[in-house]
Structure 1
Amino acid sequence: MNTERLRSTGGARTAHRSSLDIQALRATLAEIDFAFESDLEVVKNSAMDEGLKRKVIATLQQRHRERRAAYVHQLAALRERTDALAA
């Protein structure tokens, strides 16, 4: 059995899987960003009091950061792993 061939094939599969995972995470982040931007536009264009708008916008921004954080962390970890495989 050619162990070098097995290693290279396994590495290629792992790199491909990581690439798919990165694409999925980026798609999820895009969906989160789109939802945030949509919600933000609704609030900005609403007739509510300006002070209340600022509070609602601040809450939306905080939730947006919180929703993104785990995905950004996963994406960074996957990129590090992919870079390590390429090295």
Structure 2
Amino acid sequence: MYSPALQPLFQSLLSTLADLNLAYDRDREKLSESMKDANLRTRALEKLKQQHHERREPYLQQLAILQDRIQRGWH
């Protein structure tokens, strides 16, 4: 278990990641529906996916740091 002081940070990071995932799913669906040209759609979806990964990365790094602190018993 981890310190209760870490819970708000942990929940905030998870909430932000969930929000980013929902926005990505929504944007991906819009692109898929609006672009008729398969080649353009594929490139646009790939770019969107890359942007999604770039946006998520800092939060994933913070989660990894937090998990490391939890495993080492940081309170």
Percentage identity across paired residues of the two chains: 32
Structure 2 gaps, min length 5? none
- Over alpha carbons, which structure has the higher Rg? 1
User: 1:57: which partner in 2?
Assistant: 45
**Farther off after superposition, 75-84 or 60-69:** 75-84
- Larger RCO (CA within 8 A; separation ≥ 6): 2
Over the aligned positions, Cα root-mean-square deviation in angstroms equals 1.6
Cα distance in structure 2, aligned partners of 1:47 and 1:24: 34
Structure 1 gaps, min length 5? 1-13
User: 1:67: which partner in 2?
Assistant: 55
Count of equivalent residues: 73
Contact 2:35 2:41 in 1 (8 A): no
User: What's the TM-score once normalised by structure 2's chain length?
Assistant: 0.88
Tell me by how many angstroms 1:47 deviates.
Answer: 4.0
Deviation beyond 2 Å, 4+ runs, structure 1: none
More helix by share: 1
